Amino acid sequence: MAERLLEVTDLSTHFFTYAGVVKAVNGVSFTLDRQETLGIVGESGSGKTVAALSVMRLIPDPPGRVVGGSISLRGRDLRAISDEEMRHVRGNDIAMIFQDPMTSLNPVVKVGQQIVEAIMLHQDKDKHEAWEMAAALLKRVGIPDAEKRVKQYPFEYSGGMRQRAMIAMAISCNPDILIADEPTTALDVTIQAQIIDVIREMQATYESGVIAITHDLGVVAEIADKVMVMYGGRTVESGPVDEIYYNPHHPYTWGLLGSLPRLDLAEKTRLTPIKGQPPDLIALREGCPFADRCAYVREECPDHWPAHETVGPEHGVNCWIPLDERVATREALPRFSREAS
């Protein structure tokens, strides 16, 4: 049985603003085992990145604060440890590849120097050793002529190379958990495939657990073992990747998959965008946040959050629609009917 690295239970993170309380994450739970990849998907504003930043204890306070739940790293309560202990956890135990490397990398500091600082902060290395390690890391993630590139600035790198540099920095201390926040955004499909390959290779080398945060369902299908679907700060469905893609149970999951192009469907099958807009996280009601956009909404949906229902091995959903009715409704949709597959 794989080692359990991370267990997050009933996590809630809110932002206290002049306009009101933004419930960015509301009662989210998930686990991550060694060498496992968890994909977290959902539209922008669903709470994906905030959940990851909460695990890293990087929520700016004020205005944000983790208001409930537990975050356990190999049995160690990350909410209870000191700031100094948490600084040691970041990098050594958990590392994060942030969105948009152009803004994450310091534009006036050489790429190698930024990696060197991360190495020297967490490891007992002198500057010469750290520079050698930085060049070796850039070479390992596939940057050509690494000995030269290590002394260049971020603007001298292409988008794909900057993303590789961020991965090199993240793995510099061999973390057990790697969080990749939109790792392939703004990259062409060829470079996307290369970045995915690099993450896979690093995971195999270090036996890390990976959390991949993305709105790109194609990327998740490629790399994830299991998927958590978030909407309005809540988890609406989670389970093994094949179950989520081929046996989805929540109308929001149907909507996400319905907007994904598939080559194995009949020519006349159209993409079906989700109507409406994501919810106002300040004015959330107690029920399902997807209720206002759901074509199958029931009377109880807006004001009462449904209980978690197990629909298969490690596959769960929170939805008021009865199981038999959900299955029949899904099978009637062109993109999920057995005839279309």
Find out whether 121 and 84 touch, Cβ atoms under 8 Å.
no
pLDDT of residue 341: 45
pLDDT of residue 313: 93
- Residue identified by tokens 């060197």 is 116
1-93+175-341 is a CATH 3.40.50.300 domain: yes
* pLDDT by residue, tens only, the chain of 341 residues: 789 999 999 999 999 999 999 999 999 999 999 999 999 999 999 999 999 999 999 999 999 999 999 999 999 999 999 999 999 999 889 999 988 777 889 999 999 999 999 999 888 899 999 999 999 999 988 899 999 999 999 999 988 899 889 999 988 888 999 999 988 877 788 888 888 888 898 899 889 999 999 988 888 998 999 999 999 999 999 999 999 999 999 999 999 998 877 666 655 667 778 889 999 999 999 999 999 999 999 999 999 999 999 999 999 999 999 999 999 999 888 666 544 44
Cβ atoms within 10 Å of 256's Cβ, excluding its own: 21
Alpha helices in the chain (DSSP H): 48-56, 83-92, 101-104, 111-122, 127-140, 146-149, 159-170, 189-206, 217-223, 241-246, 251-258, 323-332
The residues pairing with 6 across neighbouring beta strands, listed in sequence order, are: 32, 73
Task: Enter the tokens of residue 203.
Answer: 């995971």
Find out whether 157 and 112 touch, Cβ atoms under 8 Å.
no
| Domain-wise residue ranges, the chain | 1-93+175-341, 102-172
What's the predicted TM-score (pTM) here?
Answer: 0.92
**φ/ψ bin of 145: left (φ > 0), alpha (ψ from -120 to 50), beta (otherwise):** left
